């Protein structure tokens, strides 16, 4: 029924947040699973996603509001329902009376007054609380753990970090790359060409499914073009894309070479290979060499020095894509960054053996952390004097108005 109160969606959002706070599942997975299990329609699914993502993106600030309005702590279920209500009031911009009444309905009768009191108070003091936000310490204002804010300030300085935090705190804008192998007949209404970046578009509405399905478009961020630009793949070159699934970079290489690069695409996860194959076929690849390989293991003899170039889009912390991966700040630890850096160094060391003398290695991440970027390159170069760094590029998200990314081009001497 049109305009029916969507209490079901709010309940499901609370369940997702409850699961998220006690487990390891990603928000995206939880929203997909719980909305499917509840049989919610598209608009309710969108509401669940908006509440869950909005709450997690602003978690520390919303919790600060709860503490301001009720100094004694709430038990977990009430705390989560209060977050669901506040998220509607402060982040989604719903009418206060609807946000309050629909949320309070979910609260057991005997404690309903507590949540009702906090939400009504929050709605009444809304403008004051919003104004106060700008005066709060950065970790609270932008809901990012203190250790991460300190780490970024030490690397980039305070003003740059503040600008990046403000950028990360907003919902993402999606982009798409046009595929030269399957040019668009007409540019769909929801695509706006990106100024100064030929072949790239901003999505201003629904994803043009038909164009994605026929391979004319690939949903990706313009920051992914840096590694392809450094690789500068040429027709006829043998190229190894070592960490390839789901195939964004492999497809970009094929698009850039008119389908004429001779590509081997590997990934350690067998279960990711069918999607990789499907994506590459869809985008016009006709001869595809797809294999499972774990690049923490030695380079197989038949691949040693067999490639003109190797691209390594390694697993990383995703600190450049926090707008899209909202779990990242809450799941990441400094120890995990160090573990990833070691893993990246191992993958680089093993996969670089596949490059011919005189060939190129492109290393890329969607991390903005130096430990996963330049430090990995410097460590590798210190152990491999036959390689030199030609160029590297760090894209900071707020500067690019896109995702953060790092790419480095190495040359292996003849
Ligand atoms: C950042 S993603 C790659 C994205 C891909 N290049 C694209 O553009 O669509 C990293 C990939 O590395 C794979 N991976 C992780 N560890 C690996 C390893 N030891 N050897 C090979 N692949 C690995 C993951 O399964 C994941 O698909």
Look up the CATH number of the domain holding residue 291: 3.40.50.150
Q: How far apart are the C-alpha atoms of 41 and 88, rounded to whole Å?
A: 19
Task: Please indicate, yes or no, if residue 284 is contained in any of the structural domains.
Answer: yes
Same domain, 142 and 264: no
Question: What residue owns the CA closest to ligand 1's atom 15?
Answer: 315
pLDDT digits (tens, 9 = 90+) for 157-194: 999 999 999 999 999 999 999 999 999 999 999 999 99
pLDDT digits (tens, 9 = 90+) for 296-342: 999 999 999 999 999 999 999 999 999 999 999 999 999 999 999 99
Average pLDDT, the chain: 96
Same domain, 142 and 262: no
Per-residue pLDDT of the chain (414 residues; tens, 9 = 90+): 344 445 699 999 999 999 999 988 999 999 999 999 999 999 999 999 999 999 999 999 999 999 999 999 999 999 999 999 999 999 999 999 999 999 999 999 999 999 999 999 999 999 999 999 999 999 999 999 999 999 999 999 999 999 999 999 999 999 999 999 999 999 999 999 999 999 999 999 999 999 999 999 999 999 999 999 999 999 999 999 999 999 999 999 999 999 999 999 999 999 999 999 999 999 999 888 999 999 999 999 999 999 999 999 999 999 999 999 999 999 999 999 999 999 999 999 999 999 999 999 999 999 999 999 999 999 999 999 999 999 999 999 999 999 999 999 999 999
Q: 3-state SS of the chain: helix, strand, coil percent to 5?
A: 50, 15, 35
DSSP 232-245: ---TT-EEEESS-T
Question: Which of these three, 147, 169, 191, is where a domain ends?
Answer: 169
Cβ atoms of 357 and 413 within 8 Å: the answer is yes
Q: Is the CB of 191 under 6 A from ligand 1?
A: no
Q: Is the CB of 248 under 6 A from ligand 1?
A: yes
Residue 193 is given by DSSP the state: E
**Tell me, what's the pLDDT at 6?**
56
Does 199 belong to an annotated binding site? no
Cβ atoms of 324 and 56 within 8 Å: the answer is no
Q: How far apart are the C-alpha atoms of 10 and 216, rounded to whole Å?
A: 37
**Tell me, what's the pLDDT at 287?**
82
Q: How far apart are the C-alpha atoms of 377 and 363, rounded to whole Å?
A: 8
Tell me the backbone φ, ψ of residue 161, rounded to 5 degrees. Answer: -65, -45
**Tell me, what's the pLDDT at 2?**
41
Cβ atoms of 367 and 320 within 8 Å: the answer is yes
With the most atoms of ligand 1 within 8 angstroms of its CB, the residue from 228, 233, 245, 328 to mutate is 245
Residue 142 is part of which domain span? 138-169
DSSP H or E run through 281: helix 273-282
Cβ atoms of 335 and 371 within 8 Å: the answer is no
**Tell me, what's the pLDDT at 7?**
61
What's the pTM?
0.95
Q: Is the CB of 245 under 6 A from ligand 1?
A: yes
Active site residue 16: no
Cβ neighbours of residue 52 closer than 8 Å, sequence gap 6 or more: 13, 16, 17, 20, 27, 30, 31
Does 285 belong to an annotated binding site? no
Long-range contacts of 206-209 (CB under 8 A, 24+ apart): 207/174, 207/176
Strand 289-292 and strand 262-267: pairing? parallel
- Give me the sign of the Cα torsion angle 272, 277, 282, 284: positive
Question: Which of these three, 128, 147, 169, is where a domain ends?
Answer: 169
Find the Cα–Cα–Cα–Cα dihedral 295, 296, 302, 306, rounded to 10°: 60
> Token digits for 360?
């190129």
Long-range contacts of 105-114 (CB under 8 A, 24+ apart): 105/7, 106/7, 106/10, 106/11, 106/14, 106/81, 107/78, 107/81, 111/78, 114/70, 114/74, 114/78
DSSP 283-342: TT-SS-EEEE--TTSPPPGGGTT-EEEEEEE-----TT-TTT-TTHHHH--HHHHHHHHH
DSSP 133-178: HTTS-HHHHTT--HHHHHHHHHHH-HHHHHHHHHHHTSPP--EEEE
**Tell me, what's the pLDDT at 286?**
86
Give the count of beta carbons closer than 10 Å to the beta carbon of residue 346: 15
Task: Please indicate, yes or no, if residue 1 is contained in any of the structural domains.
Answer: no
Does 267 belong to an annotated binding site? yes
Task: Please indicate, yes or no, if residue 356 is contained in any of the structural domains.
Answer: yes
User: Per the structure, how many domains does the chain have?
Assistant: 4
Strand 355-365 and strand 405-412: pairing? antiparallel
Q: How far apart are the C-alpha atoms of 40 and 114, rounded to whole Å?
A: 29
Q: Is the CB of 246 under 6 A from ligand 1?
A: yes
> Token digits for 180?
């030269």
Same domain, 16 and 155: no
Give the side-chain half-sphere CA count within 13 A for 155.
Answer: 17
Q: How far is the CA of 249 from the centre of ligand 1 (A)?
A: 11
Question: Which of these three, 179, 198, 219, is where a domain ends?
Answer: 219
Look up the CATH number of the domain holding residue 44: 1.10.940.10
Reference 65, options 150, 109, 127; nearest CA is 127
The Cα diameter of the chain in Å comes to 77
Question: What residue owns the CA closest to ligand 1's atom 25?
Answer: 269
From the CA of 296, give the closest atom in ligand 1: 19
Radius of gyration over every alpha carbon of the chain, rounded to an integer in angstroms = 24
Q: How far apart are the C-alpha atoms of 293 and 242, rounded to whole Å?
A: 8
Same domain, 304 and 165: no
329 exposure class (CB count in 10 Å sphere: 0-12, 13-18, 19+): buried
Q: Is the CB of 320 under 6 A from ligand 1?
A: no
Task: Please indicate, yes or no, if residue 50 is contained in any of the structural domains.
Answer: yes
> Does the interface ipTM go beyond 0.95?
yes
Task: Please indicate, yes or no, if residue 2 is contained in any of the structural domains.
Answer: no
Give the count of beta carbons closer than 10 Å to the beta carbon of residue 19: 16
Same domain, 206 and 312: no
Q: How far apart are the C-alpha atoms of 374 and 242, rounded to whole Å?
A: 19
**Tell me, what's the pLDDT at 76?**
95
**Tell me, what's the pLDDT at 288?**
82
Same domain, 185 and 268: no
């Amino acid at each position: 029924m049109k305009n029916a109160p969507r209490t079901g969606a709010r309940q499901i959002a609370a369940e997702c947040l409850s699961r998220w706070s006690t487990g390891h599942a990603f928000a995206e997975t939880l929203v997909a699973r719980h909305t499917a299990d509840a049989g919610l329609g598209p608009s309710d699914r969108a509401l669940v996603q908006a509440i869950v993502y909005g709450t997690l993106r602003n978690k520390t600030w919303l919790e600060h509001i709860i503490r301001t309005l009720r100094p004694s702590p709430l038990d977990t279920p009430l705390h989560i329902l209060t977050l669901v209500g506040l998220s509607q009031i402060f982040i989604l911009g719903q009418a206060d009376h609807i946000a309050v009444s629909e949320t309070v309905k979910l609260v057991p009768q005997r404690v309903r007054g507590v949540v009702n009191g906090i939400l009504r108070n929050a709605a009444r003091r809304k403008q004051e609380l919003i104004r106060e936000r700008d005066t709060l310490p950065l970790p609270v204002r932008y809901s990012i753990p203190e250790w991460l804010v300190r780490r970024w300030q030490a690397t980039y300085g305070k003003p740059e970090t503040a600008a990046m935090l403000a950028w990360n705190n907003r919902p993402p804008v999606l982009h798409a790359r046009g595929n030269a192998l399957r040019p668009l007949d007409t540019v769909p209404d929801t695509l706006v060409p990106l100024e100064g970046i030929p072949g790239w578009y901003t999505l201003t509405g629904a994803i043009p499914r038909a164009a994605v399905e026929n391979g004319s478009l690939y949903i990706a961020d313009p920051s992914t073009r840096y590694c392809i630009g450094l690789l500068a793949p040429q027709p006829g070159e043998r190229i190894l894309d070592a960490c390839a699934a789901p195939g964004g970079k492999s497809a970009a290489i094929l698009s850039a070479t008119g389908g004429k690069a001779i590509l081997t695409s590997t990934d350690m996860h067998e279960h990711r290979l069918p999607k990789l194959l499907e994506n590459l076929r869809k985008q016009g690849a006709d001869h595809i060499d797809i294999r499972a390989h774990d690049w923490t293991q030695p380079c197989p003899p038949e691949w040693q020095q067999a490639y003109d170039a190797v691209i390594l889009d390694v697993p990383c912390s995703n600190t450049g894509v926090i707008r899209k991966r909202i779990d990242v700040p809450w799941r990441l630890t400094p120890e995990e960054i160090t573990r990833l850096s070691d893993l990246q160094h191992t993958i680089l060391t093993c996969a670089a053996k596949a490059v011919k003398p005189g060939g190129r290695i492109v290393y890329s991440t969607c991390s903005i952390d130096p430990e996963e970027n330049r430090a990995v390159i410097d460590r590798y170069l210190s152990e491999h004097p036959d390689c030199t760094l030609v160029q590297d590029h760090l894209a900071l998200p707020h500067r690019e108005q896109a995702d953060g990314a790092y790419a480095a081009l190495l040359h292996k001497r003849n």
